[in-house]
Structure 1
Amino acid sequence: MPSNYDAELDAMGLACPLPVLRIRKALAVLSENQILYVIATDPGSLKDIQAFSRITKNELLEAYETEGKYHFIIRKRVSTN
């Protein structure tokens, strides 16, 4: 498990679209450039979170699977407003 993150989200046991919805909510309270660590068990979360990051412009720093658990490290994007 990574240690350099600002917040952690446990999305284990949640099925699509709940992991992405919880990530959106968790990122909303973080400041720009802060890091969110997510762990999920839904195999579809890999594809869903990659798409979410691309669409929202949040940076997916890492995405990997170990022993049926999917780990994601996401950096909150910097606003361009």
Structure 2
Amino acid sequence: MSTEYTVTETLDVKGESCPMPVVKTKGAIDGLSDDEVLEVIATDSGSMSDIAGWAEATSGVELLDQQDEGDVFKHYVRKTQ
């Protein structure tokens, strides 16, 4: 995973549980232009595997990084096409 990126937009899905972090991430990514980066901030620990799995199975997106900060989980997703 790359650590060199600039966040274009931040999506706050704190308090949301599966599947909403992924659903809202998809919606936000759809609104970005190619090469823009979405930061997703979640409190659902399942978002770590859910967003990683979604990114791996979805063409046009690249998971750049994930950070577990205890109670908060951050995900960085780049739109690639």
TM-score computed with the length of structure 2 as normaliser: 0.88
Runs of 4+ residues over 6 Å off in structure 1:
none
Q: Distance in 1 between matches of 2:18 and 2:80?
A: 23
Q: 2:8 — aligned with what?
A: 6
Q: Percent identity?
A: 34
Q: 1:77 — aligned with what?
A: 80
Structure 2: unaligned runs, 5 residues or longer = none
Q: Distance in 1 between matches of 2:70 and 2:25?
A: 22
- Number of equivalent positions: 76
Q: 1:40 — aligned with what?
A: 42
Answer yes or no: is 1:17 the counterpart of 2:11.
Answer: no
Q: CA RMSD in A?
A: 1.2
Q: Distance in 2 between matches of 1:4 and 1:76?
A: 12
Q: Distance in 1 between matches of 2:17 and 2:52?
A: 16
Structure 1: unaligned runs, 5 residues or longer = none
Answer yes or no: is 1:49 the counterpart of 2:51.
Answer: yes
